Each structure stands twice: as C-alpha cells, then as structure tokens.
Amino acid sequence: MFTDKEMEPVIEKLTTDTKELFDIYEERRLFKTTKQKSEDISGLLENAMEDLIEGAVAPKIDSEPDIRLNGEPVEIKTSGNWNAGTWQSGGFSKRDGHFIFVLWELDENNKLSKIIWMKLEIIEKYHESLRYICSDTTFNTNMYRLPLATISTLTP
C-alpha cells in the first residue's frame, strides 16, 4: 500500500490542516460533534494523501473509494472515540480493497495529540463479518486485532 516514510509528511499536513480548520470552527463558534470532526479529518487525510503520495487520487464521490492508490481502492475509517475503538461504515464500504483505520484525539489547542493509523491486511475477515450485518458496519478493534498493524502513532 504505502510506507511509513510516505506517511510522515501526510501526518504533518493532516496535523496542520486539522488545527487550522478546527480553529476556524472555534473562531466562528461552530460546534462540531466528534462524528463531524471525524468526517472532516477523513477528508483532510484524503487531500493530504492525494497531494503528497504519488499515485493517490481522492475521487470525492460517495460511490467511489476514499482513495485510489495506483488504481487500488483504499477506504479510510476515522473515529475520535478513543475509548471504544470502533469505526462506523456505510454501504459503499462493502467492497474489496485496502482499509485504513484512524483513531484520533485533539488537545485543547485543536492539535492532533494522538493519532493511530492501522491497516486491515486480511479483507476476508471483513467479508466474513458481513453475514451478521445488514446495512451499516461497525468495525471493532477486538474483532480485528490480529489483521491490524499499527502504521504510525503521534504523541505530544
């Protein structure tokens, strides 16, 4: 998929862009839920990957994957629910491809203080779980502990 070295500038850009955007929300007194912030972080991550990783394209269409990396689909699942360690997913995510799971936390200055990137290596585990799910999908870290690999972690 991509290397840790390729992700370093992506993480830096994501951190800067997230702070910039969330500072604007505060300045304008716009309240955003954790889910809305997760969607924004996901979109900023798509942009950073497209800008900085060769072969990465962010189609920005719901029926398309979040990223196409040299033609391969990559779905990004983002959650700010640090304690629960779960990610929600809708119907378009039920396709073959790579998955990146992002777990994030902000400090009081809107800076990403913790971020963990994980990739789902064994897609069969995901498809196996679909037998029990009708429309939306919940990814649980306990269920996916073995196929997940930590790519990178930022701490203050």
Q: Are strands 98-106 and 72-79 parallel, antiparallel or unpaired?
A: parallel
Bridging pattern class, strands 86-89 and 137-140: antiparallel
CA 27 to chain centre: 25
Percent over 90 (pLDDT), the chain? 37
Domain containing 140: what range?
A: 4-154
CA nearest neighbour of 74 among 47, 87, 93 = 93
pLDDT of res. 135: 33
pLDDT of residue 6: 82
Q: Angle at CA 42, nearest 5°, toward 37 and 47?
A: 125
pLDDT of residue 79: 83
The predicted-structure confidence for 90-144, as pLDDT tens digits, reads as follows: 555 556 677 787 888 888 999 888 777 666 544 444 445 444 333 344 454 433 3
Q: What value does the mean pLDDT take over residues 1-23? A: 88
What is the Cβ-side half-sphere exposure of residue 19, based on CA atoms within 13 angstroms?
12
Q: Is beta strand 112-120 parallel, antiparallel or unpaired with respect to 148-154?
A: antiparallel
Query: How many separate domains does the chain show?
Result: 1
- Average pLDDT taken over every residue of the chain: 75
The answer to whether 139 touches 87, Cβ cutoff 8 Å, is yes
- pTM exceeds 0.85, yes or no: no
pLDDT digits (tens, 9 = 90+) for 55-89: 999 999 988 999 999 999 988 888 887 665 556 66
DSSP letter for 71, please.
T
If one compares 94 and 148, the residue with the highest pLDDT of the two is 94
Helix or strand (DSSP H, E) at 72: strand 72-79
What CATH number does residue 131 fall under?
A: 3.40.600.10
Rounded to the nearest 10 degrees, how much is the dihedral formed by the CA atoms of 88, 92, 95, 97?
-70
Q: Which residue(s) pair with 138 in the sheet? A: 88
Per-residue model confidence as pLDDT tens digits over 41-56: 999 999 999 999 999 9
